[in-house]
């Protein structure tokens, strides 16, 4: 480890073999040099999803002896190239279970990239963990090039939330910079898709021409920490209260949080779709699971768990629960333009988002509002969440159809919401 000056420290990658590096399971770790004689580590992880590959014990006192948490923040820059699968990198405590930072995930297919982790000043000892996060249960392979620790002024992380500050985002470029192997998705290189952004406090002028309002939003929250329950719910609450839709359609019920939110804030009759058996990964394993009160894990998007929040709140009489794969749903029972508002938040793979979007465009009335959740096309978020990748890829690929049907399309910032208004002349 090289302390350099008082502001930063560089951890030599060979230290991961020579000092304190703990391997887990069938991990292979080799010291290598490239054609320019630069050192890097080549790693092959265990094949099972979420298994640790290796961790490294870190001591802030030895890395940066003069670090003062009352005036500084500590950031860790990690440079990697992922050749196969996906890896997760984060700081965990001594028990190797409790995360002290957000875990950053990097999929294969991108050139050498830099990931930045914020180290909380609440602890001076931590473990830097690398693990296999691909759901394909195959070995992930990556090169670890460099690790650097740097100090920034206190409050630096709160001013770098990852959300855009300008009035538009080049969706095609963001996808291209984060994912080089999009599978069936074709990137638009000649005619990039440009999406306008609008501050959430501009919502009144978007919806009905009124003056700005102050919607409660955690503006210092990083885009990777955003959630429907804590953050986007405030925006959706305002939309439902302002528009008071009479018919609302929702793709993706899950526990029923979004359905309950709509019912609490307007008079709408609600139709909501969910897979009867819930979402599964490529191996057929449930995606949404939680630890039960008695110990065993439970799947939270199947059986009686589907929509339990709106039922417990007493809104069953206003909700039509439809248990079906939306890709197989026959929506012809509804006439064109039947719904006032539609929220797409079901399956987040490219095909399902595309299917749900096409259904929604027909079913939404002229002047109605269409919303996509999990739209946050920053490079960090695209690399971190498969759900965000699927939504962004679908929107980008089908932009010509979407923009023809909708008058205005805005990414509300800061949020995970893309909002469009149906053409009034259709």
Q: Give me the pLDDT at residue 180, please.
A: 40
| pLDDT for 20 beyond 90 | no
Mean predicted confidence (pLDDT) in 386-392: 91
Compute the average pLDDT of residues 350-372.
97
Per-residue model confidence as pLDDT tens digits over 81-131: 999 998 999 998 888 878 888 888 888 876 788 888 888 666 788 899 999
Q: Could you tell me which residues are beta bridge partners of residue 78?
A: 115, 147
Find the mean pLDDT for residues 357-381. 96
pLDDT band of 25, cuts 50, 70, 90: confident
Domain 8-159 sits in CATH at 2.60.120.260
Task: Tell me the C-alpha distance between 125 and 47, whole Å.
Answer: 29
Task: Report pLDDT digits (tens) over 266-277.
Answer: 999 999 999 998
Region 192-214: what's the mean pLDDT?
Answer: 88
Tens of pLDDT, residue by residue over 135-151, are 777 899 999 998 988 88
Lowest mean pLDDT among 149-153, 188-192, 243-247, 359-363: 188-192
Q: Which helix (H) or strand (E) holds 261?
A: helix 257-265
Percentage above 90 pLDDT, the chain: 49
What pLDDT, on the 0 to 100 scale, is given for residue 1? 47
CA dist 200 and 233 (Å) reads: 12
The H or E element that residue 289 is part of is strand 289-291
Q: How many whole angstroms separate alpha carbon 94 and alpha carbon 57?
A: 9
Q: What's residue 336's pLDDT? A: 97
Please provide the average confidence, as pLDDT, over all residues in the chain.
86
Ranking 143-147, 359-363, 411-415 by mean pLDDT, the lowest is 143-147
* Res 232: pLDDT: 96
C-alpha to C-alpha distance for 232 and 343, rounded to whole angstroms: 12
Average pLDDT over residues 180-191: 56
Tokens 């297919």 correspond to: 109
Read off the pLDDT of residues 222-233 as tens digits, 9 standing for 90 and up: 888 899 999 999
Q: What is the pLDDT of residue 22?
A: 77
Domain boundaries, the chain: 8-159, 168-422
| Tens digit of each residue's pLDDT (9 = 90 or more) over 304-343 | 999 999 999 999 999 999 999 999 999 999 999 999 999 9
The answer to whether 189 and 172 have CB atoms below 8 angstroms apart is yes
Is the per-residue pLDDT at 19 higher than 80?
no
Angle CA 5–8–13, to nearest 5:
110
- Section 257-284 average pLDDT: 91
Residue 4 has pLDDT above 50, yes or no: no
The residue ranking higher by pLDDT, 202 or 158, is 202
What's the CATH number of domain 168-422, 3.40.640.10, 3.40.50.2020, 3.40.50.150, 3.30.1360.40? 3.40.50.150
pLDDT at res. 183? 45
The residue among 23 and 387 whose pLDDT is bigger is 387
Instruction: Evaluate if residue 250 carries a pLDDT over 90.
Output: yes
Rg (CA), the chain: 23
Contact 276, 346 (CB under 8 A): no
**Full-prediction pTM beyond 0.85?**
no
Query: What mean pLDDT do residues 186-208 have?
Result: 85
Longest dimension (CA), the chain: 69
């Amino acid at each position: 480890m090289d302390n350099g000056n008082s502001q930063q420290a560089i951890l030599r990658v060979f230290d991961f073999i020579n000092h304190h590096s703990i391997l887990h399971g069938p991990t292979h770790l080799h010291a290598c040099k490239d054609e320019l004689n630069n050192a890097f580590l080549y790693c092959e992880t265990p094949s099972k999803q979420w298994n640790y590959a290796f961790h490294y014990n870190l001591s802030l006192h030895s890395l940066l002896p003069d670090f003062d948490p009352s005036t500084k923040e500590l950031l860790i820059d990690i440079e990697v190239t992922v050749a196969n699968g996906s890896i997760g990198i984060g700081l965990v405590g001594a028990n190797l279970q409790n995360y002290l930072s957000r875990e950053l995930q990097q999929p294969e297919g991108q050139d050498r990239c830099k990931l930045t982790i914020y180290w909380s000043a609440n602890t001076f000892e931590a473990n830097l963990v690398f693990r296999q996060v691909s759901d394909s249960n195959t070995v992930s392979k990556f090169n670890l090039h460099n690790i650097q620790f740097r100090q920034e002024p206190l409050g630096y992380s709160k001013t770098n939330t990852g959300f855009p500050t300008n009035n538009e985002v080049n969706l095609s470029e963001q996808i291209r910079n984060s994912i080089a192997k999009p599978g069936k998705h074709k990137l638009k290189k000649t005619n990039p898709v440009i999406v306008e952004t609008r501050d959430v406090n501009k919502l009144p002028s978007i919806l009905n021409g009124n003056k700005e309002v102050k919607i409660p939003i955690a503006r210092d929250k990083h885009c990777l920490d955003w959630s429907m329950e804590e953050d986007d719910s405030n925006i959706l609450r305002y939309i439902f209260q302002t528009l008071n839709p009479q018919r609302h359609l929702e793709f993706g019920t899950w526990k029923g949080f979004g359905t309950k939110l709509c019912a609490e804030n307007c008079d709408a009759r609600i139709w909501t779709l969910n897979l009867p058996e819930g979402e599964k990964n490529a191996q057929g394993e449930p995606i949404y699971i939680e630890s039960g009160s008695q110990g065993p894990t439970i799947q939270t998007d199947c059986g009686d768990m589907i929509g339990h929040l709106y039922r417990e709140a007493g809104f069953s009489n206003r909700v039509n629960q439809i248990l079906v794969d939306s890709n197989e749903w026959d929506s012809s029972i509804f006439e064109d333009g039947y719904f006032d508002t539609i929220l797409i938040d079901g399956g987040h793979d490219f095909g399902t988002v595309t299917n749900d979007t096409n259904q929604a465009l027909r079913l939404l009335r002229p002047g109605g509002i269409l919303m996509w959740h999990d739209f946050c096309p920053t490079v960090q978020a695209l690399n971190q969440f498969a759900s965000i990748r699927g939504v962004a890829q679908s929107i980008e690929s089908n932009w010509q159809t979407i923009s023809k049907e909708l008058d205005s399309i805005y990414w509300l910032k800061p949020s995970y919401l893309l909002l469009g208004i149906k053409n009034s002349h259709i």
